[in-house]
């Protein structure tokens, strides 16, 4: 018998101050179709655990178990302060390391690049999943939305971990679902230098129909963006001169 739901948590009336933050949200394309297959309850935990393990390797460091040569990623200097499961994806939130007011450029670029690479390697993650998940129609793609901005801590009475609200959380949520054909969308508010973006295959475009964020400048995978149909590009984006 399921336990009754607990009462809604109550926020402390004294909230935390504003801090710089980076929010990342990922979701899995086709998760609803995957969920509706027969006896899928037997396999959903195994599949989600493997996907989360892959994301955690990119965030916390470790070996890329899904690739044949198992390359190792270093543990970054900044780790997320908050993580929340959203049903078909997860929200991660970072604030600067203790004693720092902002993130280093190196950390921001490494975070974006690791998620971009995982997006490109997701077919290999699914091949690794096939060893324990005997289901053909697994989610074919993972999509990331990343944004930077001010966040506010909301302490919860009776709980050690706070909740967070902020501009970047809302923006990241909008980004990961804005253009389903793109697996990586990041706000240009990450403030990475143009030379670095050009060298590593990022392009800047403007989202014209992002709800609540008119004319938001974004970073996209240049090659992935080029594969969009002309109609999709015209409908959702404005290209910079």
94-139 pLDDT tens trace: 999 888 999 999 999 999 999 999 999 999 999 998 888 776 678 8
The stretches of the chain forming alpha helices (DSSP H) are: 31-35, 44-60, 105-120, 122-129, 167-176, 194-199, 222-226, 230-236
- Among residues 183, 90, 87, the alpha carbon closest in space to that of 140 is found at 183
> Which one has a higher pLDDT value, 222 or 18?
222
pTM, 2 dp: 0.89
User: 177-226: per-residue pLDDT in tens?
Assistant: 899 999 999 999 999 999 999 999 999 999 999 998 989 999 999 999 99
User: 55-70: per-residue pLDDT in tens?
Assistant: 999 999 999 999 999 9
Q: Cβ neighbours of residue 216 under 8 Å, at least 6 residues apart?
A: 171, 187, 188, 206, 207, 210
Say which CATH class 18-239 falls into. alpha beta
Residue 45: the pLDDT is 84
Query: What span, in angstroms and rounded, lies between the C-alpha atoms of 27 and 119?
Result: 11
Residue 44: the pLDDT is 80
The tokens of 112 are what?
């974006």
Is pLDDT of 76 > 70?
A: yes
126: helix, strand or coil = helix
Q: Where are the domains of the chain?
A: 18-239
User: Confidence class of residue 13 from pLDDT cuts 50, 70 and 90?
Assistant: low
Region 36-64 average pLDDT: 86
| Cα dihedral value 136, 51, 211, 171, nearest 10 | -170
How, if at all, do strands 82-85 and 89-94 pair?
antiparallel
215 C-beta neighbours (distance < 10 Å), count: 9
Q: Cβ neighbours of residue 79 under 8 Å, at least 6 residues apart?
A: 59, 60, 94
């Amino acid at each position: 018998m399921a336990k009754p739901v607990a009462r809604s948590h109550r926020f402390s009336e004294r909230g935390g101050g504003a801090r710089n933050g980076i929010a990342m949200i990922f979701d899995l394309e086709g998760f609803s179709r995957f969920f509706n297959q027969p006896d899928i309850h037997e396999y959903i935990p195994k599949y989600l655990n493997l996907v989360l393990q892959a994301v955690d390797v990119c965030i916390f460091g470790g070996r890329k178990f899904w690739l044949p040569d198992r390359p190792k990623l270093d543990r970054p200097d900044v780790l997320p302060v908050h993580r929340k499961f959203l049903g078909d994806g997860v929200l991660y939130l970072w604030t600067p390391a203790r004693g720092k007011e902002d993130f280093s450029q190196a950390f921001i670029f490494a975070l974006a690049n690791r998620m971009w690479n995982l997006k490109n390697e997701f077919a290999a993650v699914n091949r690794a999943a096939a060893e324990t998940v005997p289901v053909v129609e697994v989610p074919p793609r993972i999509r990331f939305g990343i944004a930077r901005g001010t966040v506010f801590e909301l302490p919860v009475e009776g709980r050690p971990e706070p909740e967070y609200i902020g501009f970047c959380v809302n923006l990241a949520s909008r980004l990961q679902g804005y253009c389903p054909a793109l697996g990586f969308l990041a706000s240009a508010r990450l403030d990475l230098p143009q030379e670095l973006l050009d060298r590593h295959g990022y392009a800047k475009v403007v989202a014209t129909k992002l709800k609540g964020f008119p004319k938001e400048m974004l970073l996209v995978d240049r090659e992935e963006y080029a594969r969009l149909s002309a109609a999709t590009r015209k409908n959702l984006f404005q290209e910079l001169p």
